[in-house]
Amino acid sequence: MDTEQNAQQQPAPDVVEAIRSRSAWARAACGELARAGRARKDETLLALASALRANGPAILAANAEDVERGKATGTTAALLDRLILDDDRLEGLAVALEDLAALPDPVGVVVRGRSLPNSVRMQQVRVPLGVVGAVYEARPNVTVDIAGIALKSGNAVILRGGSAAERTNTVLVQVLREAVGAQGFDPNLIQGIDDLGRPGVAALMEAHGSVDVLIPRGGRELIQRVVRESRVPVIETGEGNVHLYIDASAPVEMAADIALNAKTHRTSVCNAAETLLLHQDAEAAGREVLRALTRAGVLLHVDAGARAWLPDAADGGPAARTAVDATEEDWGREYLDMEMAVKTVGSLDEAMEHIRRWSTGHTEAIVTNDLANADRFVTEIDAAAVIVNASTRFTDGGELGLGSEVGISTQKMHARGPMGLEELTTTKWILRGDGQIRR
């Protein structure tokens, strides 16, 4: 993450004023978008996709500058990987915008509607939130994803992409603004604030009443800072200390397949499993799971019970790494790497107690053939997603059919789990009468 974003400082008056102006322009730009129907919004999304393709060389050139600078300043390989755009990734962003155009419009959906006893016709209807702020890190794809989702859901966005991707984001925002303008909308629907630097983020967090919601996307420090300091309502995204519990009745092969997929399909993401809980009576499944993980090259942090089930060195295969003893600290770690904590438990209750203690409320999963245990796990575990007999990797907007996502909310207010179009809306109560008064 950008360590620069951690510094606390009071924004200067001109920065506060810049945020005030831009959020006012954003608010004004929303009006026209609110009146536009779905057709104009979808046409604009297609135009944004075309603009990305047409301006590919300029975008990639700007990105090359950022990458060059990143290499020169010793940016980690993982960060560079998130920063880099190429033809394929750019095409992926364009396709994602086209996919958004094909999704239903969340605005105007009638959530509830009925006639009241006095014949007033009541409807609760989805409407845009208004002005959405996003603060993220070195991932230019987020610029395009959030701009597209915001446009489709009728919102204006104010984007802060972090200094590592500043050149790329500047060009992307410019391309998107021009395309929006060419479609007859106010370009201020999409605005960047990277030019304001760190103080811009501080001023954005103070803009209660001007900005309707702030979405931080990135590492723990960035998110915690925004949650702690923002006066604008925040949707917290992110951290996933994801547990996979193998119950006593777990089918052996299913347990191994799911554990391997949950841990190794993609390690750097928040829905990857980080801790494995093995029921002490699930020895066959436990041994098979540990063999599969070891063969795949996962470094296991094991308790004494799990150590007894580790495969023999010869059985581990060429990629095998030596397991290490787990410490208390391992239960709280989000490795985001080819590492996993493993603990044996005596009962479902002990597993759930461990999860309650260490869960970040993202995704928790059980593999079991016991119906009562599955039901208890689903009811009693408090997380955005609870999964029975499937990989934790399914906590994902695309997988759930929500289209591209703004992030995965780990809070309970407003949105929980993958946030798509609907999560960038609020509702309005509309009452239509013919003179009714209250008696």
Residues near its own copies (CB under 8 A): 31, 34-35, 114, 116, 120, 122, 124, 127, 129-130, 208, 212-213, 227-228, 231, 233, 235, 251, 253-254, 257-258, 260-262, 265, 374, 378-380, 382-391, 393-395, 399-401, 411-414, 416-418, 426-438
Chain centroid offset of residue 426 CA: 19
Nearer to its own copies, 70 or 407 (CB): 407
Kindly state the smallest distance separating residue 431's Cβ from its own copies, in Å. 4
Closer residue to its own copies (CB): 3 or 379: 379
Choice between 253 and 325, CB closer to its own copies? 253
Residue 380 CB, shortest distance to its own copies, in Å, is 7
Of 227, 319, 244, 241, nearest in space to 285 by CA = 244
> Closest Cα partner for 132 from 109, 113, 154, 114?
154
Phi first, then psi: what are they for 368, rounded to 5°?
-160, 160
Nearest to 234 by CA among 204, 264, 258: 204
- Smallest distance, its own copies to C-beta of residue 181, A: 22
DSSP state of 373: H
Judged by CB, which is closer to its own copies: 66, or 396? 396
CB of 358 to its own copies, least distance (A): 13
Strand partners, 157: 132, 190
Q: If DSSP states are collapsed to H, E and C, what string results for 178-238?
A: HHHHHCCCCHHHEEECHHHHHHHHHHHHCCECCECEEEEECCHHHHHHHHHHCCCCECCEC
Q: 40: closest CA among 172, 239, 183?
A: 183
Cα-to-chain-centroid distance, residue 395:
10
CB-nearer residue toward its own copies: 46 or 254: 254
Residue with Cβ nearer its own copies (8 or 76): 8
Amino acid at 292: A
Question: Shortest distance, CB of residue 158 to its own copies, whole angstroms?
Answer: 16
**Which lies closer to its own copies via its Cβ, residue 71 or residue 412?**
412
Q: How far is the CB of 383 from its own copies (least distance, A)?
A: 7
Q: How far is the CB of 110 from its own copies (least distance, A)?
A: 13
Separation in Å, CA 74 to CA 25, 78, 80, 138: 38, 11, 10, 14
Burial class for 50, CB neighbours closer than 10 Å (0-12, 13-18, 19+): middle
Residue type, 182: A
Phi-psi region of 106 (alpha: psi -120 to 50; beta: other; left: phi over 0): alpha
Q: How far is the CB of 217 from its own copies (least distance, A)?
A: 17
* Residue nearer to its own copies on the CB measure, 182 or 430: 430
